[in-house]
Structure 1
Amino acid sequence: MKKLFISLLALTCTISLAGCSGSAKPPESAAPTSDKATDALPELGKDPVTVKIMASGGMFSDDEVQKYIVEPVKKKYPQITVERINASASKLPELISAGEIPDIVANYPGPMGSNLAEYKLLYNMEPLIKKYRFDVNRFAPEALETLKIAGGQDYLAGLPAYTNTFALFYNKDIFDKFGVPYPKDGMYWDEVAELAKKLTKSDGGVQIRGIFPDGIGRIQQQLSIPFADFTANKSLLTNESWKEAFEIWGSLFKIPNLTEGDFKVPNAGKNQQAFANGTLAMIASHSNLLNTLKTAPQVNWDMAMYPQHRKAPGIGQRLDSPILSITEQSKVKDAAFLVLDTLLSDEVQTAMMRGGRMTVLKDEKLKSEFGKGLTEFQGKNLTAMTKLKFAVMTPFKYLPDVDVDKILSKAFNAYIVDETDLNTALRTADEEMNKLIQEKLRK
């Protein structure tokens, strides 16, 4: 009995010490009582709910709304009905005045923050992101950074649906006619400028133009060049970075005969039509151009990666996405978030990729699906659109993109047609930017 008592006492001490020791571990078979990774997600009520989303026809066609939003949401959440308000037909201020504020509004990054703030629609979506365990790390890190800058807040005020991705489109017939080698993936802007010089010439009385790279804002976005010092509230348009930007972009426009007639001022629509008509050899454009090319089977075209700047190798354009924001006034925020969650699911994003809408998710396997559903474009170098990283958006604080673009475009357009010299153009733009800054600060 004495030996038994001693044995039991030793066992009791061992158990007691194990319970008190921080180094002791429970058996591997023991399961935690509450593991967030395995907890069931919150469930939406079964009562019918309608989510109204406001987005323009350019962001989503009617067919895309049905295919990528309405139908997948109805399949996953039968109680949710999604109604689309076409921003091309209805205006947000009118809806707000009528007390019909949408549950979700879509903005491009430039006007996003100012629009949400102006109409008092800003809403911090991060509690819902946490509640439904939405993994924001699925996004490319540059996209996440841009989302916060676009919203003008230190929190996420919206999530991107997809992004317009960029490439250098080229007309193979023009290159063949003039004996110039096709553009290749990985080219820089100065190399593209040399190609454009060889392709800008008259052909049987028809002026062929070598390149349209879009307006000055594209190089600003690619290099993330700041246009103001918001600590000192002062313009930065006369610094060396802006001088270099005007020079490299100017080298693309100052080719003789490139900016004649209807093309004196950069205009994306006119140049897309010129490309479809066979009078423009190259156009640096985004994936929406694919829709134009669907209706232009006569164009023998292909694409290469979007040209890079030597100071920023591997960087393309910034996020050019419809950013979907739940409004502060929405009474169905949970249902609205589940609509966004469904849109950003791997299943729906894969379908969008196959249809030519570029994902902002960083999954390389997903990226490999880009354009596979566009049977009319089989054999085209569509993967060129998936290879570059996003540029990060430049903070704009209280300066709306549209106001800044007007100042930059006015100065650059005068420079490329030799109405003014480079230094005068930048100095004038700098003065106008400082004036704009003071106007905004007084409000």
Structure 2
Amino acid sequence: MNRVRKSGGFPALLAVGLLSVIVSGCTANTGMEGSADESDISTPHANMGTSDEGPQEEVTIRVLYPWGQGAFDERFKDIDEKLPDIRLELIDSRAELEPLQELNAKKIVPDLIFANWGIEPLMELEMIEPLDALAEQYEFDLDRLDPSIIALYRAWDKEGRLIGMPTSADNYALFYNKEVFDLFGVSYPTDDMTWNDVLDLAKRLTAVKDGIQYRGLEMGPGFTGTEALVPLMQLTVNLTDPETGEVLISQEPAVHKYMELMKAFYNIPGLYNSDPEARKDYEFTKNTVAMIVSWPGYLRWGIGDPDKARSIDIAPLPVWPELPDIAPTHFSHPLILNKYSENKEAAFQVLMEVASADHQTVLAEIADGLTVLNQPEINERYGANYEIFDGKNLSAFVARTPALPPSRVSPWDKYVDIVGHLAEFAESDMNIPEFLRVVQEKAEMRIAEEKSRRE
């Protein structure tokens, strides 16, 4: 299966936690306190509550999911088997504006929608049913869920309502290749590094040896991908005004701080690869890059070969000195309850099972993502079905406290394309104010066009 990595995640993350996309795909040790005992792991609804009013006859719940029947069965078969009065049926489509409009025109109504392409199309089509009332009706304990993700979902909504149920989570950490470190005689990354520490390592590990260009760090292909925004995501600021769409990057200190860090990285001779081909895929897999910022599934989806992964381990994400334990807001693609579903209560029972410990364990074992529950012990099962995760320091992904998002995440942030201009910044002599003016002017044009489209 060709799993699309974060197309909804990072526009979403981009619009979310800064920022934003989320980012895919987790829980943190801190912020995930209150682990349940073993009985909670085996009993999906322990302490969550159920209703006596469930459907008495079989109800079909149609789930919009974009990766085909095989992937759907892998992720939902256990739920289908758990609920005898509910049958799950796949609608194989994307939660993007045009596909959703086509389904609506054909009067095909999914009850649940996997929103991995962002929630904006669903908001525009007014298809989102908030979950607060059903959670109260079924005595569903929202406190069992990662508070960072729940805060993010509420921050997406003008009224602070819960717009979806989290599925599995992606956190970020620092992968490193021991062979490259050994070649340069440099000690491996530690658990308490700041971005300045990583900058120093990147300088020491970027050089030509035996005719081969080695690079100390990669943050997205060519050092210009969405992962390059991770340090900014840790600062959790909006790039635009949530109400007016005013672009704020030129006046936002956090953005200037982030750009100073990026400038320092790009100033390391040889670190940035100006070859456009290099920005088509990661170079870390070639054993010529020492470190990469990425998500847990990168081992499976990005590397794939257990033999290649033997020299790779993981350290916690670097931090800003003034935020010594803060990771970006945790991100999880939500399952949305369709406002037009005629089976909302049955669909919510499916959502409760999605957030059960049993199902979260299933998702962890197939490396779909880290758990969205405040039960970090579930993450010990992460990647259990795949040899490539054996012996890896997966606890690095939950070693930091996730930042809480702004109280209202700006829906206009996705039009501020910092990532799309990083190559220009790396290859030019623009100073930071000049660069931000270029990004701001283009963002203002895009926002104006979008406002005109909505009128």
- TM-score, length basis structure 1: 0.81
Matches within 5 A, 1:86-105: 86-87=92-93, 91-105=99-113
Q: Counterpart amino acid of 2:320?
A: H
1:88–1:234 distance in 2 versus 1, CA, 3 Å: closer
- Percent identity between the aligned chains? 26
1:147–1:115 distance in 2 versus 1, CA, 3 Å: same
1:56–1:318 distance in 2 versus 1, CA, 3 Å: farther
Of residues 367-376 and 141-150 in structure 1, the stretch that sits farther from structure 2 once superposed is: 367-376
Q: Counterpart amino acid of 2:163?
A: A
- Correspondence for 1:158: 164
Q: CA deviation at 1:200?
A: 1.3
State the distance in 2 between where 1:38 and 1:430 align: 46
- Correspondence for 2:118: 111
1:370–1:89 distance in 2 versus 1, CA, 3 Å: closer
State the distance in 2 between where 1:345 and 1:362 align: 11
- Correspondence for 1:421: 431
State the distance in 2 between where 1:83 and 1:251 align: 51
Q: Secondary structure at the match of 1:123?
A: coil
Q: CA deviation at 1:111?
A: 2.6
Paired residues of 2:238 and 2:413 also in contact (CA < 8 A): no
State the distance in 1 between where 2:185 and 2:410 align: 48
Q: Counterpart amino acid of 2:168?
A: Y
* Structure 2 residue 399 is the aligned partner of structure 1 residue 390: no
Q: Secondary structure at the match of 2:314?
A: strand
- Correspondence for 1:43: 53
State the distance in 2 between where 1:193 and 1:107 align: 36
Paired residues of 2:240 and 2:412 also in contact (CA < 8 A): no
- Correspondence for 1:245: 258
The answer for unaligned runs of 5 or more in structure 2 is 1-46, 221-225
1:77–1:324 distance in 2 versus 1, CA, 3 Å: same
Q: Deviations over 1:184-217 (max 9, x none)?
A: 1121111111111111112322221111123443
Q: Secondary structure at the match of 2:91?
A: strand
State the distance in 1 between where 2:101 and 2:413 align: 18
Paired residues of 1:172 and 1:302 also in contact (CA < 8 A): yes
Matches within 5 A, 1:14-413: 41-57=51-67, 65-70=72-77, 72-87=78-93, 91-108=99-116, 111-112=118-119, 114-214=120-220, 215=226, 216-230=228-242, 233-239=245-251, 240-262=253-275, 267=279, 270-271=281-282, 274-291=283-300, 292-295=302-305, 297-299=307-309, 300-356=311-367, 357-394=369-406, 395-399=408-412, 401=414, 403-404=415-416, 406=417, 408-413=418-423
- Aligned residue-pair number: 394
Q: Counterpart amino acid of 1:276?
A: T
- Correspondence for 1:14: none
1:418–1:276 distance in 2 versus 1, CA, 3 Å: same
Q: CA deviation at 1:63?
A: 5.2
Q: Secondary structure at the match of 2:189?
A: coil
State the distance in 2 between where 1:78 and 1:39 align: 18
1:425–1:336 distance in 2 versus 1, CA, 3 Å: same
State the distance in 2 between where 1:435 and 1:369 align: 47
Q: Counterpart amino acid of 1:220?
A: L
The answer for unaligned runs of 5 or more in structure 1 is 1-36
Q: CA deviation at 1:429?
A: 2.1
Q: CA deviation at 1:264?
A: 8.2
Q: CA deviation at 1:148?
A: 1.0
Q: Counterpart amino acid of 1:96?
A: N
Q: Secondary structure at the match of 1:298?
A: helix
Paired residues of 1:398 and 1:440 also in contact (CA < 8 A): no
**Higher normalized contact order (CA 8 Å, seq sep 6+, divided by chain length):** 2
1:238–1:367 distance in 2 versus 1, CA, 3 Å: same
Paired residues of 1:229 and 1:235 also in contact (CA < 8 A): yes
1:56–1:308 distance in 2 versus 1, CA, 3 Å: farther
State the distance in 1 between where 2:357 and 2:74 align: 14
Q: CA deviation at 1:86?
A: 3.3
Q: Counterpart amino acid of 1:199?
A: L
Paired residues of 2:112 and 2:337 also in contact (CA < 8 A): yes
Q: CA deviation at 1:310?
A: 1.8
Please tell me the root mean square deviation across aligned C-alpha atoms, in Å. Answer: 2.7
Q: Counterpart amino acid of 1:258?
A: L
Q: Counterpart amino acid of 1:194?
A: D
Q: CA deviation at 1:294?
A: 2.9
Paired residues of 1:56 and 1:88 also in contact (CA < 8 A): yes
- TM-score, length basis structure 2: 0.79
Q: Counterpart amino acid of 1:217?
A: L
Q: CA deviation at 1:364?
A: 3.5
Q: CA deviation at 1:39?
A: 9.1
Q: Secondary structure at the match of 2:61?
A: strand
Of residues 231-240 and 145-154 in structure 1, the stretch that sits farther from structure 2 once superposed is: 231-240
1:87–1:298 distance in 2 versus 1, CA, 3 Å: same
Q: CA deviation at 1:302?
A: 0.6
State the distance in 2 between where 1:86 and 1:74 align: 17
- Correspondence for 1:24: none
